[in-house]
Amino acid sequence: MRRSLVAAALVLVACGPGPEAAGPGVDLTLVASAGLLDVISAFQVSLVANGSALDCVTVQKSCVKDQVDASRFVTVKDGSGKSGRAVVVPIALTAGTPNTQDASLRDVPPGKNFALVVEALSKDSPPRLSGSACNYVKEIVPGNNATVFSKIELLSPAAACDPRL
């Protein structure tokens, strides 16, 4: 009996924490202009600390990685559990007026004063910045947070920088 209890305890520990132990999440609705559909391969989503220090208008004209120190990028996870300073979201737009796509960040550390930056990666090799959106997020709390709507505007011509982090 004692061996069975020890074995069961080891199995439970190996499984890791349950879903309720995961950190806060941020759901996104990406809105893409029709001009982006033919030129982009994916969206890159990053969360930047001290977001109010960013001028979102300026950030959207060039790659965010070239505008802020790498230490300001918050490590986030995508819906499948892959983590990094940014997550890449494959295109899965729902056609309509406008074209939209849902995405999410998981295990985001709670805190205040963030900027959420969505960059459209071109189909070029290496990719260039084809469009961008920047949203200020006042606070991320444990549990559910408000959905962020990001309207990605086409840059014409695309910025010369490679946005990948």
pLDDT tens profile 134-164: 999 999 999 889 999 999 988 888 899 999 9
pLDDT tens profile 25-80: 899 999 987 778 788 999 999 999 999 999 999 999 999 999 999 999 999 998 78
Q: What is the pLDDT of residue 18?
A: 39
Q: What is the pLDDT of residue 22?
A: 59
The residue type of 70 is A
- The model carries a pTM of 0.83
pLDDT tens profile 86-145: 999 998 888 777 889 999 999 899 999 999 999 999 999 999 999 999 999 999 999 889
Bridge partners for 57 per DSSP: none
The residue type of 125 is S
DSSP string, 90-108: E--PBPSSSEEEEEEEESP
In the predicted structure, residue 3 carries a pLDDT above the cut 60: no
Tokens 């950030």 belong to residue: 59
Q: Whole-angstrom Cα distance, residue 109 to residue 51?
A: 15
